[in-house]
Amino acid sequence: MTAATTGVEWAIGLLYREFHPAVLRYLRARGAHSPENAAEQVWMQVARGLQHFSGDEVAFRRWLFDLARRPLESDERPDDPIEVDAELLG
């Protein structure tokens, strides 16, 4: 983790290779609209924030999946107002 947080390329690559498949599986399982795009956004956030990260691999995994959950929250759409009105009208 120390090497990755200081910008050592091989260490960042190792994190990506280790965790990217799990992030994609998580996003797919949770029904992300576009899992590949969501994962790309997650890794861009990791790249921007990694130098400020402190913690071990468990803390990194927690942070990573917290970042992965955020695109899912933005994928949630409110009920379609037309459907709601139709339901109310019977």
Q: How far apart are CA 69 and CA 13, in angstroms?
A: 22
Supply the mean pLDDT for the chain.
Answer: 85
Q: How far apart are CA 73 and CA 90, in angstroms?
A: 31
Q: How far apart are CA 14 and CA 12, in angstroms?
A: 5
The answer, yes or no, to whether residue 87 has pLDDT greater than 50, is: no
Indicate the pLDDT class of residue 71, thresholds 50, 70 and 90.
Answer: confident
φ, ψ at 33 (rounded to 5°): -60, -45
Q: How far apart are CA 1 and CA 58, in angstroms?
A: 10
The answer, yes or no, to whether residue 90 has pLDDT greater than 70, is: no
Sign of the C-alpha dihedral, residues 59, 61, 62, 64?
positive
Indicate the pTM of the whole model.
Answer: 0.76
Indicate the pLDDT class of residue 17, thresholds 50, 70 and 90.
Answer: very high
Q: Please state the rounded mean pLDDT for residues 45-57.
A: 93
